[in-house]
Each structure stands twice: as C-alpha cells, then as structure tokens.
A and B are shown apart, each in its own frame.
Chain A
Amino acid sequence: MSAPSNSPRRRLLLLGGVGAAAFALVGGGRFIVEHERVLFLNGLDVPVQVAADGAHFELPPGGSDERMLRTGLHEVDVRAGEARLAHDTLYVSPSGGLHVYNVLGAAPLYRQTITYSSSPQSDDESAPPVLPLAGKPFLLLGHVDFVLTDPPERIEMKSSDHGTTSRTRLAVLSGGWRMSIPWLIGTHHPAEAARLTQALMHALPGTPELEALAATSTMANEHLEGSFATVAAARAWRDAQPDSDEAHRLWIRQMRRTGRNEEARAYYAAALAREPGSPRLATMLARTEPGPEATARLEALWKEHPDDPRVRWGLVIRYEREQRWKEALALLEAMEKGDPRYPVFRETHARALVALGRREEAARRVAEQLLADGAERPGWDDVLLYARLFGRSTSEAEAPLQKLIDSATQGEDGEVLRTWLAASLGESVARRAPAGSEQTVLPMAMRVLTSIIQGPEAAARVCANIERAVFGHVGTEAVVLLAGEFERLGDAALAARTLAASDVALSYGELRDVVRGTRTADSLEALDLPERAALSLVVARRLEASGANADKAYALVKQEAQLPGPVSAALEHWPRPGASQKRAGATEP
C-alpha cells in the first residue's frame, strides 16, 4: 500500500466544508432559538387580517393560527376589512414558552391543569380547575402540554411520577367574546371583563350588546371602583342606547343607590317634557317618583296605553309595593298568559296569591309552570320559591319539590341544592354543606344563612370575613336584615360592607335613616316586600330595645314576611332585644 495523499485544494475544500457546516448548524440553531411559537386567536365574530413580522394571514371568527416569530419587538396590526381593530407592540421574549396573541383578549381562553393518577381510588371526578386568560391580548405562558387539543383520558406514567402527574392544557370556550365577558364576571375577574369590554367598544363601535356588558362588568367591579364608575357606565349605556329600557332602569337604580334619585327624576321630567307622549320616559319617571305619584302616573298611562307591557310591569310593581294584591293579581294573571317577562314576575304572582290566602294554589301553579313540558330548566331561585310556598325543603320522592330539585340539578347529586334550600328557609337543623365541593362561595353562603338562626352576633362573625361574592347566594332579604341589624347594633362598618356586597336597591344612608327611625321603610320605593319585611323587623327590634311598644311593628313584619325565609327565621329564633342593649345610630362621635 502506498502513502495516501491529499491535494491542497481538496484539503481546503474539506476545511471549507467543516466551516460551512458549522455556520449552517449555528445559523439553524439560532433560527430555532430566536423564533418562538406565537398562537394567534380570534374571538371576534368577524374574520381579521393580522400583519406581524412581515407575515400576513387571516384568522376566521373563532379561529386560531400558530406562527413562529423571531424574538424581539413586533408591530402587530389587526384589521377587519378596512377597519383597524388593534395595533399592538408585541414583545416575543427569548425566554421560551408559549406566546399567545388573543386579538383584543376576546377569545375565551383558559388554562387547565389536569392531574393524572395511576390509582383508581384517587380519581377525582370533578372537573379540573380552570384559569381564565381571556381579557388579556398578550400572554407569555410557560410550557403547555396540550394547545387547543383535547388531553387524553390516560397517559403513560413514569416511575418518577410516583403515581401522580399533571399536564397543562390551553383551550378556548366556544362563543367568542360574548362568552368571555360574562365568563370573566362570573369567575370574579371583573377588572379583566371591564378592560375587555372597553377594548371591544373601541374596536367594534355600534355593537349593541357591548354597552350592556360594559355596564354589567362595571357593576361587578363596583366594590373596587365605587358607585361613581357604575353610574358613569350606566349613563354611558343609557346614552348609547336610549331605547333600552334596561339601560334606563340600571341608571335609575344606580342613581338611587348613590342618593341621586332626584337628579334622575329631574332628568326624566325634562325628557318627558321634551317628548310628552313617550310611555318609556313616563314609566322611567314613575320609577323615580314617590309611591303615590308613581302609581297615579302609571295608572293614567295604563289607560292611555293598555297594551304597553312596560306600563303593566310598572303597575304590578307599584301594586306589590302598596300591597294592592287584587289589582296586582289581575295584571299578573294577564301576564301569565303571554308576557315574555312573566318569569321575572313569577314570585310576585305567587306572593299575590299567598297574600290573598291562596298559598296552596300558588305552590301548585308555580310547580306546574316550572315542570310543564317545554319549560326551561328551573333555576335554584325557582326551586327556592316553590320550597318557600311549600313550606319546607324536603318532600316525598314523587312530590313536585323533589322533581324540581331533580330538574334543576339535571340528575346530579342534589344535596348541595337541598342544603341551600334548608338554609334559605331558615330551617333550624340545616344540613351541612357537602364535603369536597369545588365551589367555595356556596358553602360560605350556607354558613351565612345558617348563622342567621344563631343570632346577629354569630352572623356578624361570619359576615366580617367572607368574600363579597358570597352575598350573591344569600339573597337580598337576608342581606337587608343583617345590614339593618348590624347598623342597629352599632357596627356601621360591617353594615355598610354587607349592604355594599349585595345589589339591593338600598343605599347605606337610607338604611341608616330607617334604622334610626328618621325614615319609614314604606318610603323606600325600590324595596320589594321581603326586603321591606327585613327592615321592618330591624325597626321593630329597635323599638323594643328602646323600651317602646313594638307589637304593631312585629305584626307588620309578620304580615310582610309571607313566606318562610331569613326574616321568619329571625323572628322565631332571635332573642328579643333588651332596653339596655346598644342603641342604633351610635356610629359617629
């Protein structure tokens, strides 16, 4: 064998090849390192054209697209046809992970952690917790195992998992932005909901639902940003949609809550003067007026517009407030036959029947309505109404209450609902909240309702440390009762906090005045009968505590508290206040 040889050219070619390979490898590596996955999502109803990093692509409504963008700053331009929806400076970080660009934050995006276990005993049937990510246009997430794909039922375990492992999933609910906003509100993310609504209103002007959603999200955020924001949002909705009764009603209600009812009344008086024949403005004006004036205005209006449902609704409310049950019943019977808003007045209808001594009929009719073929699935409040009419939270297997519970829970375990019913009815031996429930709000609400039986001090201990959202499941009757009693006992801070946590149309000032006796509960036009009964009970206790004769006041309470509930429970269980106890109104130096 002879000595092998290489020509200089060949050697240089070899070296060049090595250098070129190194360049290619480093270049390829940097391309991978300097490009990150960016998931683009469109939660809008319209297709959008996205321009980012020199790429132009279209996202269909509810669609998504995954792109590799180089790390660094990018100008992202989103258009729907000619209209520019958004222009953001997007920073794609080199730190890795999944970047998400959710156009305007509209898509109802969420992250879920799914836990897999090799042990069948530890399988948790409840759905894994969900973290809503909607409302934020840009997100940098860590590693996500399943991006917009369904996770498998089971996965292979490694020995290092020790029998349990978890995976993350990124998914989008259906419904687009219409789902995102209520979902964020419902999951206690009102700030994100408000921000998303604002962004959508700027991007999609003229979308009617947005104004309502903006007001709703602002309402949900009221505990943080106060009533000025909610009044402004309601006013904006009213101005944007002057034909929306809901917008007007909300604005009136918020104005009343902030003590500006007279301003609202002046507004509608002026508006009606400009447009005298408007039933809408007339009914809205009636809402702001004192009871008799409002009733007279509505009765006159009813004569002029006998087919206008708004007038009828207003009159029903007025008659209910004035306990003119026969007149109210006549209107309600008519509404039952075809008014689409009748479900809102179902409880009023039932109360009218009860007031007229037809409680069994009321229960029967409610059950028939709720269990009728083609009827919507009954809500918990509907079941509670029937239970109140029925008188207790338990019944035989085939009884309407049981059917309603089954229907409301859709065949799932109805124990939580039964427990809530028992607590809401003020039953002395309330069931314990079922263990393992994923919802923390409902058990706390049951604790509040159960504590009412034990007395106001026990309720104060519970209410002092609970989330605001709990009061949504407690009911306005209980809230007014507790806030009034706390105020009577001298704890103005707790009274104000309890009242603010609910959406009852009662300001703290009004509450304070009634409890102090400088105003009667009857003068509070916005309160319904149970709420007024609650205030009446506080007034009766104040009278009794001051040594005055409270018999009439207690009689009024019994008259107003037609159905079993927090007021009847307090009447039955709360000890009578002695004259030596604290006097209401000792809240200021």
Chain B
Amino acid sequence: MSSEPSQNPYDVLGLPRDADTRAIKKAYFERVRQHPPETFPEEFKRLREAYELLSDPEARQAWDARAATPTDGPEAARSARLREADELFKAGDPDGGYAVLHRLLAEDPAWHEVRTLLGRHLLLEDKPADALAAFDAVVEQCPKDWEAHLHRGWALQRLGRRNDAADAFWRAGRFGPTQVAPRVELADCLAELGQVDDALATLAEAQGLAGVTPMDMLALKVRRATLLLEHGRNADAARELDGLEASIPADADAELRGWAGGQLASAAASLFAQQKSEAANQLLERGRRINPDSATEVAYPVRVTLDVAALPEVTREWLNTEAERHQGWRRFSSWVWPAVLTFGLAVVTLSLLVLFLRAPGEFDVFLWGVCAVFAAGFSAATFAAARVFLRAAESPFGLFTTVHPLHLVQVQRDRITVWPLVHLQDVRLVNHQNYGVYTHTEVELRFSNQRLKVPVRGKQVAEAFAQELLGRRRRVLELLNRGMLDAESGVEQLPPALLARGGARGHVRAEGQRGPVPGMLAAAGVGALLVTLCIVPQSRRAEEHVWGQFLSQDDLGATLAYLRDRPETRFTSDAQARVDAALGLAREQLTARLDPGSAAAPSVPFFASLLDAVSRTHSRRVVVSWAAADAPGALPPGPGAEKLKASRALRDEQLVDAWQRRFDEALGQGVLRVDARHDMPKEGPPMMTLRVQEQLRSAGPGASALEAVWTVTADPAFGAAGPPLPLELVVPVTSLEGPHVAEALFRAWVDRWHLPGTGDVRPLLSTPSLLAQESSP
C-alpha cells in the first residue's frame, strides 16, 4: 500500500462507517465501472487507494481509531497530539513521530493508546522487538485487553517466536471470547507450527462463536479449505468447499457471491505465492462456480495456446499495438522457415515415395508395411508443415514476446502462447557467450511444472524484462488477494476467461476452424494409398533388378540359379533362352571336339543327354561320390588310419578333378560343375550323382590274388542314350594303397564309357609328384 487516501475513504466510495467488506467491494466496482481508468485515471487512483485502505483490516482499524478521536476538550487535545505523531509518520518523518509519542509517554506513562500506536508503527517499521516491548507494556497495564494480546502476538510472530505468538493469540481469544480475529491468527500460527489439526479445530471453534456473522462464517470456511489445500488434504478441502458452496443460498445476491468469490481468490493468491498452483486453481475454479461474473477470478491454466483468429477484436488490437511496439510484424524470416520446412518434408515424402516405387530390392509384406507407415507419417507431417506455412503467410505477426498485465505472451505468427503470471515461480538469467564474447541472455522461466526460455539480447534488457515479469506477478497476486484484479487495467485485452476455453488440451481454436488432425489423417491415408499403388510397379522393377544381376554375371550357373529360384517370372523365358543358347554352344563344341574319328566319339550321346538334363532340371551340378566298402568308422586304429583317411580324401578330390576335366574337354569350361557331396548353394541340387563303391576282393574262389573293384551307379539312372549301369570295374592289385590302383580303375572307367582320355596313356588322375615328395628334405 503506497499511501493512505487524503480524503475520507468512506466518502470516496460512498459508504457508511459500518460497511462490511462485501459492501466495500461492491461500491468500489460500481465506482470503477463509472470511472474507468482509461478515461478517469486520477479518479481511478483515488478509488483504488480508498478501496485498498478499507479492504485492509488493520489499516481500516487504524483509520477508524484516528477518525473516532474527539475534536475538542482535553481528550481532543490528547487526540490532536496523537494525530500530530501520526501525521509525522505519514509525512515520512518517523523520528519526529517517535519523538512525539515518547514525549507523550513521558508525560503520561499509563497512556496505553500511545504505546499501542507506538508499537504498531514500530511493527510497520519492521522493528518487532521494540514493538514487542511496547505491547508488553500495554499488556502489563491492561492484562485483559484482547487487542493488546493480539498485537503482542503479531510482534512475536514477526520475531519468529511462534509458540509465544500462539500463546498470545490464545490469550487474545480468551479475553475476547466473541472475537474471530485472535482465533484466525491462532489458527495461522498453529498451521505454521505444523499443528494443522489444532489450527482447523481453532477455526471450527471460531465458526461456533456467538455473534459470528455469515460473512465471517464464509471467510472461516475459506480459511479452513485453504489450510487443507496447503497441506495436501484435497479431499477434505473439497468437502469444506462443498460446504461453503452449499452455505450460499441458490438465490444469493450477486454481491454475496462476488464477496465469496473474492475470498476464494484471495486465498488462491496466497497459494499461488506459495507456488501451489494446482491448489490455487482449485479454489479459483470453485470461486468461478460461486461467482461466474468475475472476469479474473478463474482457474488459470499454466499455458494456453490460442489461434489469433480465435482472439476477440480487443485482443487483436492489443496485439497489433504490441507488434508495433516490439517490431513483431511478419517478416521474411517469419514465413520462410515454415516454407523451408514444408519444402524439406515434401522433398523427403516425395523421395520416399519414389524410392518405394523405384527401389530395386525385393520387399516382403512387413517391409511394405514399414514403407506405408513411413509414407503416411511423412505425408501427414508435410501436410502439417504446409498448414503451418499457410497460416504463417496469412498472419500479420511474426515472432515476438510481450508482457500483458496478467500474462507473458509469446506471439508465433498465427498463434499466441499465454503464460499466466500467477504460475511464475522462478526466473533465472543465463548469459551466453561465443568464444568469450557475449551473445545473448536466456531468461529461463518456470511456470508451475513447465519451463520456458526466452532469449533476450542485452544483459540490461534481460534484467529489466525479468524485473518486469516479477513485478507484474507480484502485482497480480496482490490484486488477486484483494479481489481487485478485475479492475486491473488491460485485463479485458486478454481476459482469463478466454484462456479457460482451452480446456485440458490448452488450446483455443478459432470458431469454425478445423484442427490439423483430420487433414493429417487424410494426408497419411493418401501416403499409404500411394505406397499401395507402388507395390505392383516396384515388384516388376525388383524382378528386373534380380534378373539384371544374374544377367550381369554372364555365367550359365547364375542363369540356372535364376531359373531354379524363380521358375515363373516374366524373365523366365529369357533365362531359358540364354540357357538353351549356352547349351547349344556346348553341343556345338561337343560335336566338334568328339569328332567321329576320335576315340571318345561314342560318348557324345552321354554328354548330350547331360546337356538335355541341364536344360530340364536347371542344374549343372554333378556329384561324384566315392566310398570305400568299409565305413569310415571301421578304419584300423593307429598311424595307418590317418594315412588311409588322407588317401581317401585325396581319392575324392582326384575323382572330382578328373571328372571335371572330362566334362571340360568335351563341352568346354563352365558348362558342368563336379563336386563330391559338398554343399554348393549357388549350384543347387545335383543334376546327377555318380556313386562309386570301392572294395577289395579275391580274384576268384580259392585264388590268392586280389582285385580292386569299383561299382558305379548313377542317380537318376541314365536313359537309353547313357552307358549301361551298374558298371563294375576290376583291376588286379596287391593292395588298395598307392595311387596306381585308382588310376587304373578310373582309366578302365574312361575306356568303358569312351570318355575323353580313352586310348590316351597319359595319367588321368592328378596325382601329386612322388619324385618331388621323396626328394624333399
């Protein structure tokens, strides 16, 4: 409170001396409506000072006491001297005031009104110890004066002696059995001491006092509810507030409702000050139900976004003013970034769609699902970005931040974000530097549970901004506490009731304007649909890619693998044609090489039948499987076993090499592939398996000579063009060991089937050089 009104506040507001707080408030708002601050600033100031004085019980009591002093006689002279001291205090000369009071006490030490006045001014001057001494003296003189005990309690409370203060308040209540104030103070003191139940009981006791007015009763209920909310007893508080609401008759006049709402708003301000935003909003919500007429006594969301189009004309005008003041009109940079974002997302979305359409890989159902999700997501995001871009281009505003009497307001093109200052709990300034050079200050704000960072250029500007925010918050809470927020200048520019329309989502949309979700869903659907339309052409392209890759290998095996893996594609006929062309070339080679004059000419039908089988089975793999008569586990133990094992492994390799050589000589390289049961995933299952069973047997009944035998079978069996099977090859030997046995048996095989090499005395098996082995050191 800056100063007291120089005029009689009752006269300024047109009130009788016994006017209650409800009447004071009603009169104040009527006068303010008649003299709005924009038109009558001086009158408004006078009205507010009068209202602030009368709405403060202590100030009103002091004013009443001063005004009640007689104007003539000895008492009048004493009163005049008291008024003189009071005037000196008001004139900013506390030393003069104290001097007058001390003189008066020196003249009449029993004049306890002087001590009371002295104590009150000492309290105002924040000298609670001196005030306590003054009040102690008054209590000594008037031990049953409840007011003296009350004053003493205040002083003790200021000194932090809460227990003593509670005792003093208790005594005040004892000596003032019908007084509410001592009990309220006692309840507050007990609550501070943590004795919440005792405090609540004290307030309940106050409610039961004889002569308690209905207004006091309502005030006490509000106090109890506030106390309960402060200590987290929300359910009890709700019940208390229900009781409060029920205690107001349905046909209660607007003044009563307004007064009750004001009490709740006042309590809410206290809770906001204690950074208990949620509890405060509960009170304000209840106050809104009781008094729907108030513009400011409403629950304040922590943050609300509002479309500019949703703002009333007055708010838009205010925004225009602020935009002009902050140079916050739309600029190139205001819409270019949304445009860039839209462009970027459009590029990504289109790229994805083209990628899905043109990707060479093969997609399965899961992958298509993933593609659809991506396309839908990016299409929706592109739509949202385009929407933002269009709105940014439409809105006259750019980006700026301004402070409303009740809120911090961030303007973002077509949308504003409102941060009610009642929730502001913490402000920090963080200076940012780049290589030691100051760049900007970030004002970090905490609104209840949400944080906001506002970059500001200039340290002083940032400090001024922070100070302005804190000052505005303080003022908002003060005004809310006194129920004067409705009269605050500028409230109507961004009325809190408008914020309440945001609901739980905290967003106020313009009338008739649709949200982005339907459009985004539609865009996502279009994206997913486009992906679906990509499936067929992409599959064809993947098919082409796979075929192209096989084609690039320029190898018969690759083409056969393609036919095996993909027997029914649009390239199957091309692949078959390539295979037939390669086999045709091999046939030409076959007939040219194994000419009728060559010893191997009879084997032409055999090789030709193999080429036919390749064309038919799409496999060019021939397995030559050699096995000894005994099982591998039956190898004799000892060092000989290893030698035999190695010899048998070599036999496998030799046979594979020798057969590969037969095929290459007859057909050319790369036409048929021979292996010995090894896994060859690239070549697929074998077209034919030649099984060779080796055994050692007696040359005849009773004969001591031995002979080595190879029994050859084929799977599948040859047709009429093939050589007869099973084939038994016999060579007389002394043992199976040594390279000559296999060489002789294989030569016999080649001769029997007239394979390339028949009639040639060259070794047919690739035997390691014995001479090199023997001569190696």
Tell me, yes or no, whether B3 is within 8 Å of chain A by CB.
no
Instruction: Establish whether residues A15 and B554, one from each chain, have CB atoms under 8 Å apart when the complex forms.
Output: no
Compute how far the CA of A494 lies from the CA of B769 in the bound complex, rounded to whole angstroms.
Answer: 5
Q: Is B389 a contact partner of A492 (Cβ separation < 8 A)? A: no
Residues 217-234 of A, flagged 1 when their CB comes within 8 A of B and 0 if not, give: 000000011111101100
* Residues on the B chain within 8 Å of A19, using CB: 346
Smallest CB-CB separation from B578: which chain A residue?
A89
Candidates A71, A227, A464; contact of B769 at CB < 8 Å: A464
- Distance (Å) between the CB of B605 and the closest chain A CB? 16
Minimum CB–CB distance for A131 against chain B, Å: 17
Determine the chain B residues whose CB is within 8 A of the CB of A463 once the complex forms.
769, 772
B632 at the interface (CB under 8 A from A): no
Q: Is B329 an interface residue (CB 8 A)?
A: yes
Does the CB pair B772–A494 fall under 8 Å?
Answer: yes
Known: A3-B323, A226-B756. A588 touches B744 (CB 8 A): yes
CB distance from A164 to the nearest CB of B (A): 33
CA A73 to CA B551, docked complex, whole Å: 10
Q: What's the Cα separation between A46 and B772 when bound, in Å?
A: 53
- Cα distance, A19 to B349, chains bound together (Å): 11
Q: Mark B12-51, 1 if CB is under 8 A from A, else 0.
A: 0000000000000000000000000000000000000000
- Which A residues, 470 to 504, have Cβ-Cβ distances below 8 Å to chain B? 486, 489-494, 496-497, 500
A550 within 8 A of B: no
Give A138 to B664 CA distance when docked, in angstroms: 25
What A residues does B595 contact at CB under 8 A?
231-232, 235
In the complex, what's the smallest C-beta–C-beta distance from B34 to chain A, in angstroms? 35
Find residues 730-754 in chain B having any chain A CB closer than 8 Å to their own CB: 731-734, 738-741, 743-744
Q: Which of these binds chain A: B102-110, B165-173, B237-245, B541-549? A: B541-549
Q: Which of A1, A12, A18 contacts B339 (CB 8 A)?
A: A18
Residues B665 and A493 in contact, CB atoms below 8 Å apart: no
Q: Is A542 an interface residue (CB 8 A)?
A: no
Chain B contact-residue range equals 35 or more
A1-B324, A491-B770 given; A232·B592 CB < 8 A = yes
Q: Is the CB of B771 within 8 A of A460?
A: yes
Q: CB within 8 Å of A: which of B346-369?
A: 346-347, 350-351, 354, 358, 360
Contacts A14-B393, A232-B595, A496-B763; A72 near B668 (Cβ below 8 A): no
A162 at the interface (CB under 8 A from B): no
Which of B390, B551, B594, B739 has a CB less than 8 Å from the CB of A228? B594
Is B775's beta carbon under 8 Å from chain A? yes
Bound state CA distance, A465 and B773, in angstroms? 11
B666's nearest neighbour on chain A, judged by CB, is: A228
Determine whether the beta carbon of B594 is less than 8 Å from that of A496: no
A3: B residues at CB distance < 8 A: 320, 323, 329-330, 396-397
Neighbour of A461 across the interface among B323, B354, B762, B772, CB < 8 A: B772
Tell me if A278 is interfacial: C-beta within 8 Å of chain B. no
**B553 to A: closest C-beta gap in Å:** 10
CA distance A461 to B396 in the complex (A): 94
CB of B394 closer than 8 Å to a CB of A: yes
Q: How far is the CB of B671 from chain A (nearest CB, A)?
A: 11
Evaluate contact between B390 and A18: CB separation under 8 angstroms. no
Instruction: Decide yes or no whether B298 CB sits under 8 A from chain A.
Output: no
Secondary structure class of chain A's binding surface, majority of residues: helix
* A491 engages B761 (CB within 8 Å): no
Q: Return chain A residues, CB-CB under 8 Å to B775.
A: 457-458, 460-461
Select which of A11, A235, A496 is within 8 A of B394 by beta carbon: A11
How far, in whole Å, are A212 and B237 apart by their CA atoms in the complex?
Answer: 111
**Which residues of A lie under 8 Å from residue B774 when comparing CB positions?**
457
Docked pose: A18 CA to B345 CA in angstroms: 11
- Is B669 interfacial (CB-CB < 8 Å)? yes
A188 within 8 A of B: no
Query: Does A160 reach chain B (CB closer than 8 Å)?
Result: no
Give Cα distance in the complex from A236 to B593, angstroms.
10
Which among A11, A23, A224 is the interface contact of B669 at CB below 8 angstroms? A224
Choice from A30, A34, A225, A486 contacting B771 with Cβ under 8 Å: A486
CB 8 Å contact bits of A285-323 with B (1 = contact, 0 = none): 000000000000000000000000000000000000000
In the complex, what residues of A have CB within 8 A of residue B732's CB?
589
Distance to closest chain A CB from B661 (angstroms): 7
Chain A residues within 8 Å of B743, by CB: 588
Chain B residues 538 to 592 lying within 8 A of chain A, measured CB to CB, are: 541, 544-545, 547-549, 551-552, 554, 574, 589, 592
Min C-beta distance of A547 to chain B, whole Å? 22
- Cβ of A93: which chain B residues have Cβ within 8 Å of it? 545, 548-549, 552
Contact in complex: B760, A11 (CB < 8 Å): no
B662 to A, closest residue via Cβ? A226
Complex alpha-carbon distance, A465 and B776, angstroms:
12
Q: Are B351 and A29 in contact (CB under 8 A)?
A: yes
Q: Does B489 contact A (CB under 8 A)?
A: no
Interface residue A68 (Cβ < 8 Å from any Cβ of B): no
Q: B668 and A229: CB pair below 8 A?
A: yes
* Alpha-carbon separation in the docked complex, A520 to B331 (Å): 108
A 397-449 contacts with B by CB, 8 A: none
Q: In whole Å, how far is B608's beta carbon from the nearest beta carbon of chain A?
A: 15
Partner of A226, one of B386, B664, B739, B744: B664
The yes or no answer to A5 lying at the interface (CB within 8 A) is: yes
B600: Cβ under 8 A from any A Cβ: yes
Contact with B along A1-27 (1 / 0, CB 8 A): 101111010111011001101110110
Shortest CB distance A357–B (Å)? 39
User: Which residues of the other chain, A, contact B661 by a CB distance below 8 angstroms?
Assistant: 226
Closest B residue by C-beta to A496: B762
Query: Which residues on the B side are within 8 Å of A1 (C-beta)?
Result: 324, 329
Q: List the B residue with the shortest CB-CB distance to A586.
A: B740
A84 within 8 Å of B by Cβ? no
B98 contacts chain A at the CB level, 8 A cutoff:
no
Beta-carbon nearest neighbor of B330 in chain A: A4
Task: Decide if B342 touches A15 in the complex (CB within 8 Å).
Answer: yes
* Interface assignment of A259: CB less than 8 Å from any CB of chain B: yes
**In the complex, which residues of chain B have a beta carbon less than 8 angstroms from the beta carbon of A89?**
551, 574
Say yes or no: A15 contacts B390, CB within 8 Å. Answer: yes
Min distance, Cβ A417 to any Cβ of chain B, angstroms? 29
Interface flag for A91 (CB, 8 Å): yes
> Beyond A3-B320, A589-B733, is A493–B769 a contact (Cβ under 8 Å)?
yes
- Within the complex, the shortest CB–CB distance from B130 to chain A, in Å, comes to 59
A94-B360 contact, Cβ under 8 Å, with A22-B347, A29-B351, A509-B761 = yes
- Using an 8 Å CB-CB cutoff, how does the interface string of B591-624 with A read, 1 for contact, 0 for none? 0111101101000000000000000000000000
Give the Cβ gap from A583 to chain B, nearest Cβ, in Å: 14
Q: CB within 8 A of A260: which of B323, B597, B769?
A: B597
Residues of B within 8 A of A508 (CB): 760-762
CB within 8 A of A490: which of B320, B390, B763, B771?
A: B771
A18 CA to B548 CA, complexed, in Å: 37
Q: Which A60-97 residues have C-beta < 8 A from chain B?
A: 71-73, 89, 91-94
A359 within 8 A of B: no
Specify which chain B residues have a CB less than 8 angstroms from the CB of A258 in the assembled complex.
598, 760
Q: Which residues of chain B have C-beta atoms less than 8 A from A490's C-beta?
A: 770-771
Instruction: Choose among A22, A456, A587 the residue with the greatest number of B CB atoms under 10 Å from its CB.
Output: A22
Report if A140 contacts B (CB, 8 A).
yes
Q: Is B766 an interface residue (CB 8 A)?
A: yes
Bound CA–CA A26/B346 (angstroms)? 9
CB of B530, distance to nearest CB on chain A (Å): 13
Q: Which 5 A-B pairs have the closest CB atoms?
A: A91-B548, A226-B665, A3-B396, A457-B775, A464-B772
A selection of 8 A-B contacts at a CB cut-off of 8 Å is A1-B324, A91-B551, A140-B552, A228-B593, A229-B589, A260-B597, A486-B771, A587-B740
List 10 additional contacts besides A8-B394, A22-B343; criterion CB under 8 Å: A15-B342, A18-B342, A26-B354, A224-B664, A456-B771, A489-B771, A493-B766, A508-B760, A508-B762, A589-B741
A interface, CB within 8 angstroms of B: 1, 3-6, 8, 10-12, 14-15, 18-19, 21-23, 25-26, 29-30, 34, 71-73, 89, 91-94, 136, 138, 140, 191, 224-229, 231-232, 235-236, 258-260, 263, 456-458, 460-461, 463-465, 486, 489-494, 496-497, 500, 508-509, 512, 587-589
